[in-house]
Amino acid sequence: MNSSKKTLLFVLWSFPIMLFSQQPVNIIPQPVEMKINTGYFIIEKNTPVIFNKTNAELTHAASFLKSHIKNISGYILPENIHGKNSIQLIIKKTEGIGTEGYLLTVSPISVDITANTKAGIIYGIQSLFQTLPAIRTNAALRVPCMTIKDYPRFKWRGMHLDVSRHFFSPDFVKEYIDLLATYKMNTFHWHLTDDQGWRIEIKKYPKLTSVGAWRVDESNSMWGSSPQAKEGDSATYGGYYTQEQIKDIVKYAEERNVTIVPEIEMPGHSAAAIAAYPYLSCSQQQQLPMTGGNYRNISSVYCVGNDSVFTYLENVLTEVIKLFPSKYIHLGGDEVDKTSWKNCAKCQALKNRLGLKNEDELQSYLIKKVERFIISKHRKMIGWDEILEGGLAPEATVMSWRGESGGIAAAKMHHDVVMTPGTPLYFDHYQADPTTEPLAFGGFNSLKMVYDYNPVPKELQGEYEQYILGAQANLWAENISTAEHAEYMLLPRMLALAETDWTPGDKKNWDSFNQRLQSHFEKFGQRGIRYCKGNFRPDIKPLVQSGKLFAVLSSEIYGGEIYFTANGEQPTLKSSKYSTPVSIDSTVTLKAITVVNGKMMTNNVAQQSFVMDKAVGKNVVYANPVSSKYFADGPNTLTDGIRGTDIIGKYWHGIEGKDLIATIDLGDEENIHTISLGCLQSYRSWIMMPQYVKFEISDDGKSFTEVKTVDNDVPSNTMTAIKDFTANFPEQKARYIRVTAKALKGLTKDHPGKDLPAWIFADEIVVE
């Protein structure tokens, strides 16, 4: 070879290395140990995959690898041809990586994936895939040289999908499972039955699907306001999975190390089954399928006092257990309205015969009895945290959704727990500014909130930690009727959950995650997968330091800068650029925007008011207790100087069905001329303005004089509003102030919850 050719070759070989050697590796979830070396392994059309062909699991893993490489390159990699650069898959006893871990070593001449099990091999392959293009291009398949040692923090890395409220096709379910698997999630909780649709074919009970899977098409009305079905309407909206389709999906998931945990709800959330077989309810009356969240005259709970209900449940579960190899079978158990049991002769007879104290114990009786059946089939039962009420079944695993308290209680009783608290793991809640997002169930669970979640609460650190199997997010589908929308709610939050579930807590880093995420966004874009581009509305949080109040502004957006105003004006690039906490010295409203690459996100203006008034820091005494669910930052929420915004879970105190009667002691007699109370209306969350707010003052805290009553003027059908009820009056001296917000008698007749209690949400009593 002459020298000029050598030079040319040198240039050809070294040019790509120089150009690409800085290419970062953006694996999510972040591997436990990873070292990037210089150089590349290039997968070519004749790169062989080497593995032990007598091992069926390795053979499956190899075809999983080959089929993906074919999709992105067209290459059909040969198997077991030695003597060339190769990709090797090796199952052998390896210390320190557990049953799902793997070692991945990439050098210029080989890619080696080593693990104890097929699961580990699949995860090594997933990490390899994340270094390659997402779609078919002509680009070389270049894998950076590196060594990875990786294994998960938790064994339950779960993602749920509600296919009852809206039906999703088998193809979409596979795509969903594929997304889980890409990010090393290993559990798919398939919520197959609920009030609005039964989705799994049961051969012994064909009407469960011929009747229970279909409803009158009200998909153009809002969930909860859709008219109820009428006799003679045709039920055309819905669908179900045949047993053959389910077997195919189970196999698809198994190939990706995803276990499907089927949920068959009982004893509540069963209106669809009752529409198919009315004998299952206490009333045994015929009913039409539900169309949405309106439960008037609908039975949704199985009768516990009727033996034939247990025969039915066992027959259904027998078919379910045959279809799903999962160790866990989910029995639901949540949100059971036990009124029908109180009025049912059979249920009451059973309760008396067994000497049970109350209806909670009847529910516990049902769950324990079905658990015994499940154990007899060599499976384990899991249920929502209400299964704690009336006594936990002996071997039950608890899924903690109403916060973490159910999970904490169960773990202390030495039961396994999956953490899936509504905040931050309900992915049907908003992930960004509600004013610019598609309609969501309410709530607010941003990407960073999911990322920052620690599945082990401080109460369980140490001895009880072992009972936390892991964390799961839930995707309820009341407001999600299309595959695109489901993807949008899932992504990118599931990637944050994946890292929370996989990566050791001390190796998690938000900035690194956010940076790696950008390349995943690009890949979603290339693949036509919808995702939320992020929460562009800045977060404004109070910070008290050495007795002084500050506002801390932050943006979750990668590379986002914040500009803000304190004079009520709309922020622009000419406003102050945020760098350090803003000192709050007087009543002020901060407005802030995120700016990315010079582009202002003016549709996502954050606004937070801080008030400095005579009530700030003073104690509030309530006549009716504030709900523990909406206790905001604690007892002084109404006098903390921070006004509630349109985010329900933050800064507001909530009371259900009762008047809010709050008394403040100013400590000394003060001259006052204005008192106000801020209230929220959020129609879909059953939060309504009070009828009126009455303001009273007193010298002694015993006898009060009314200074003013302010009536509500917000229409009852307004979806979202914040109103200050303000009393201005001639200056007077007073030490005590009593504010009474009068509850509605019930939700108004246009509301889906007609006559049921409404919530009052209040924040900040301002006294001047």
Q: Which residues bind Zn ion (CB under 5 A)?
A: 282, 303, 305, 344, 346-347
Shortest distance, position 401 Cβ to ligand ACM, whole Å: 4
Q: What is the DSSP string of 490-525?
A: HTTHHHHHHHHHHS-GGG--HHHHHHHHHHHHHHHH
Structure token pair of residue 142: 């270049």
Query: Which residue is catalytic, options 269, 415, 520, 751?
Result: 269
Whether omega for the bond prior to residue 757 falls within 30 degrees of 0, making it cis, is no
- Phi, psi (rounded to 5 degrees) for 94: -135, 125
From the list ligand ACM, Zn ion, none, pick the one residue 335 interacts with, judged by a Cβ distance below 5 to 8 Å according to partner type: ligand ACM
3-state secondary structure of 236: strand
From the list ligand ACM, Zn ion, none, pick the one residue 344 interacts with, judged by a Cβ distance below 5 to 8 Å according to partner type: Zn ion
Structure token pair of residue 765: 């009593």
Shortest distance, position 510 Cβ to ligand ACM, whole Å: 27
Half-sphere exposure of 129 (CA within 13 A, CB side): 27
**269: annotated active-site residue:** yes
Chain residues binding ligand ACM by CB under 6 A are 334-335, 384, 401
Tokens 């204005």 belong to: 674
Name the residue nearer to ligand ACM (CB basis): 384 or 651: 384
Tokens 């995803």 belong to: 258
Shortest distance, position 337 Cβ to Zn ion, whole Å: 13
From the list ligand ACM, Zn ion, none, pick the one residue 346 interacts with, judged by a Cβ distance below 5 to 8 Å according to partner type: Zn ion
Name the residue nearer to ligand ACM (CB basis): 384 or 536: 384
From the list ligand ACM, Zn ion, none, pick the one residue 145 interacts with, judged by a Cβ distance below 5 to 8 Å according to partner type: none
Name the residue nearer to Zn ion (CB basis): 228 or 306: 306
Which value, to the nearest 10 degrees, does the dihedral of the CA atoms of residues 450, 452, 457, 463 take? 120
Contacts within 8 Å (CB) and 24+ apart, 548-555: 548/583, 549/583, 549/584, 549/610, 549/641, 550/581, 550/582, 550/583, 550/584, 551/581, 551/582, 551/584, 551/590, 551/608, 551/610, 552/581, 553/578, 553/582, 553/590, 553/592, 553/606, 555/594
Tokens 């998960």 belong to: 152
Name the residue nearer to ligand ACM (CB basis): 401 or 502: 401
Other C-beta atoms within 10 Å of 649: how many?
17
3-state secondary structure of 676: strand
From the list ligand ACM, Zn ion, none, pick the one residue 765 interacts with, judged by a Cβ distance below 5 to 8 Å according to partner type: none
Where in 64-182 does DSSP place strands (E)?
86-91, 102-107, 110-115, 141-150, 156-162
What 8-state DSSP symbol labels residue 135?
S
Query: Which residue is catalytic, options 255, 335, 659, 768?
Result: 335
Name the residue nearer to ligand ACM (CB basis): 233 or 335: 335
Name the residue nearer to ligand ACM (CB basis): 168 or 384: 384
From the list ligand ACM, Zn ion, none, pick the one residue 441 interacts with, judged by a Cβ distance below 5 to 8 Å according to partner type: none
Query: Which residue is catalytic, options 100, 150, 194, 371?
Result: 194
Looking at beta carbons, which residue is closest to ligand ACM? 334
Shortest distance, position 329 Cβ to Zn ion, whole Å: 24
**335: annotated active-site residue:** yes
Shortest distance, position 598 Cβ to ligand ACM, whole Å: 42
Q: What is the DSSP string of 22-52?
A: TPPP--SSPPSEEEEEEEEEEE-TTPPEE--
From the list Zn ion, ligand ACM, none, pick the one residue 670 interacts with, judged by a Cβ distance below 5 to 8 Å according to partner type: none
Name the residue nearer to Zn ion (CB basis): 302 or 683: 302
* Paired strand residues for 238: 214
> CA–CA separation, 85 vs 43, rounded Å?
9
The residues assigned a catalytic role are 194, 269, 335
